Amino acid sequence: MSACPGKIDAAFAAARQAPEPPGGKRGRLRVGIAGDFGEGLCTIVEEGKLSIGVYRIGGRFYAIRNVCPHQGAPLCRGRLMSTHAPGEVHQYQPALQGRVQRCPWHGWEFDVPSGKGLYDDRARVKTYRCEVDAEGVLWVEI
């Protein structure tokens, strides 16, 4: 029986580490009042050509670039779903529940908190740091 980790295991390991994105160098965008955002929903904010999807998942806020690295589709307009982690043959291990963004064009999977593509060890989409200030306003740093 194989237990040899492959590229997909590496992708999931990277997704689960989900490092905090670095702070923005250009400034920040106002997203809205944090308390207004429902769990599991995505809001798209735009600044010039920049388009970012902001999510509330498990009570925390995450943001990813709204562009699929494959063919440039509006990634965040796909469905936010769960996936299966790599496991034994013919066994199913639900994983990364409610935090996997599927691209609306070709269905490629990205873990939102980490931006990690789950189909390859190297693929990722850019992530942005989110912040809620003392007044309860949600900002995304760019």
- Residues within the interface to other proteins (CB under 8 A): 1-2, 4-9, 70, 83-93, 106-109, 118-120
For other proteins, which is the closer residue by CB, 108 or 128?
108
For other proteins, which is the closer residue by CB, 8 or 80?
8
For other proteins, which is the closer residue by CB, 25 or 90?
90
Min dist. Cβ of residue 58 to other proteins (A):
20
Min dist. Cβ of residue 56 to other proteins (A):
23
Q: Could you give the CA distance from residue 24 to residue 76 in angstroms, rounded to a whole number?
A: 20
Pairing of strands 109-111, 127-128: unpaired
Pairing of strands 137-141, 93-102: unpaired
- C-alpha dihedral, 125 to 113 to 138 to 36, nearest 10°: 110
Min dist. Cβ of residue 19 to other proteins (A):
23
Min dist. Cβ of residue 139 to other proteins (A):
33
What is the widest separation between alpha-carbon atoms in the chain?
55
For other proteins, which is the closer residue by CB, 55 or 110?
110
Token pair in block for residue 35: 């308390």
Q: Give SS3 for 130.
A: strand
